[in-house]
């Protein structure tokens, strides 16, 4: 008799889990519009009968009620499912799927348009919006005042050739990976001589060169191809080889003309 109590408790727990699973299954079936006949209503009712016989608390009874309600929604879905399948509107989803897959976009669009009657509506300007617009207009400074910072009265449009754009540094004449590799090789050559290289030494050059190198190095450091350390005693940044022990963090380095 002493061993039967824990065994009974275990049984209640098992059945309870089954009931909870049943509730979840019912809800999912109804929500997804899946085939409600996949739920074994008869078997589930037998489980519930078993559960109510073992029920010992108010919570168990509440759970039983919830499961019964969810089962009833399945029965309702089964009714709807049969009505839908026997209606004129029913078309096998698999068939629709295959038609959609084989039809062209233009054909599908044309079909949609032939059964589409769009809504007619008017976007309107209300008196309060007009009021807002008038006060904005009154507060708006003349164009001259707002554009005073810009020199010249007219804007001319020029066309840049590929070489000119390349000279100005607006476009690169090499591929991005090529540029990355060249600077990586350069830094690695320096690192073969000493443990760390000062950041400002590497990026030194004209303004365009410096920004380009800074961008490439940030890319190499972010992707783990190089490392970057900060020495607070000298307030300088150094490029090193990448170490897995480095803690990933974001570093902002300001660069000026001339490094």
Partner 1 sequence: MGSKRDLEERARRALQLLLVQRHRKPGVKGWELRRSIGKNYLNILEYLNEKLDSYGLCIRMVYEGEETTPDQARFLVTVKDSIRMSEAISAGWRIDELAILAASIAYIASRQGSISSRELLRLLEVKFPSWFIEATLRRLIRYGYLERDGDIVKIGWRSKAEIDGGKLLELIVKMDVVSES
**Binding residues vs partner 1 (CB under 8 A):** 31-33, 80-81, 84, 88-93, 95-97, 99-124
Shortest distance, position 37 Cβ to partner 1, whole Å: 13
Q: Report phi then psi at 172, rounded to 5.
A: -95, 140
Sheet holding 197-198, edge to edge: 197-198, 236-240, 227-231
| 29 vs 44, beta carbon nearer partner 1 | 29
d(CA 78, CA 37): 6
Helix-helix angle 58-86:4-32, to 10 degrees: 30
| 129 vs 133, beta carbon nearer partner 1 | 129
Shortest distance, position 120 Cβ to partner 1, whole Å: 5
| 124 vs 161, beta carbon nearer partner 1 | 124
| 97 vs 201, beta carbon nearer partner 1 | 97
Q: Report phi then psi at 104, rounded to 5.
A: -80, 160
| 103 vs 251, beta carbon nearer partner 1 | 103
d(CA 141, CA 147): 10
225: helix, strand or coil: coil
Shortest distance, position 231 Cβ to partner 1, whole Å: 44
CB 51 within 8 A of CB 66: no
Shortest distance, position 24 Cβ to partner 1, whole Å: 14
d(CA 238, CA 196): 6
CB 217 within 8 A of CB 178: no
197: helix, strand or coil: strand
CA 33 to chain centre: 26
Helix-helix angle 207-222:176-193, to 10 degrees: 80
Shortest distance, position 79 Cβ to partner 1, whole Å: 12
| 123 vs 235, beta carbon nearer partner 1 | 123
d(CA 32, CA 138): 56
Shortest distance, position 1 Cβ to partner 1, whole Å: 49
Shortest distance, position 74 Cβ to partner 1, whole Å: 14
| 45 vs 103, beta carbon nearer partner 1 | 103
Q: Which helix (H) or strand (E) holds 164?
A: helix 162-167
């Amino acid at each position: 008799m002493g061993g039967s109590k824990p065994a009974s408790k275990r049984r209640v727990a098992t059945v309870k889990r089954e009931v909870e699973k049943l509730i979840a299954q019912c809800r999912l079936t109804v929500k997804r519009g899946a085939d409600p006949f996949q739920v074994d209503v008869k078997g589930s009712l037998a489980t519930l009968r078993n559960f109510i016989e073992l029920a010992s608390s108010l919570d168990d009874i509440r759970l039983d009620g919830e499961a019964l309600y969810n089962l009833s929604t399945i029965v309702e879905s089964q009714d709807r499912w049969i009505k839908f399948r026997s209606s004129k509107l029913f078309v096998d989803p698999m068939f629709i799927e295959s038609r959609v897959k084989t039809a062209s976009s233009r054909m599908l669009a044309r079909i949609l348009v032939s059964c589409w009657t769009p809504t007619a509506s008017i976007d309107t300007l209300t008196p309060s919006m007009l009021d807002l617009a008038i006060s904005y207009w009154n507060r708006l400074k003349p164009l001259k005042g707002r554009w005073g910072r810009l020199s010249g009265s007219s804007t001319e449009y020029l066309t840049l050739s590929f070489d000119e754009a390349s000279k100005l540094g607006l476009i690169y004449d090499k591929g991005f990976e090529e540029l990355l590799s060249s600077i990586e090789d350069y830094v690695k050559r320096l690192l073969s001589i000493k443990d760390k290289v000062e950041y400002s030494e590497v990026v030194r050059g004209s303004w365009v060169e410096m920004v380009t190198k800074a961008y490439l190095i940030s890319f190499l450091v972010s992707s783990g191809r190089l490392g970057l350390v900060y020495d607070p005693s000298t307030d300088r940044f150094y490029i090193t080889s990448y170490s897995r022990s480095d803690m990933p963090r974001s570093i902002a380095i300001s660069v000026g003309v001339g490094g």
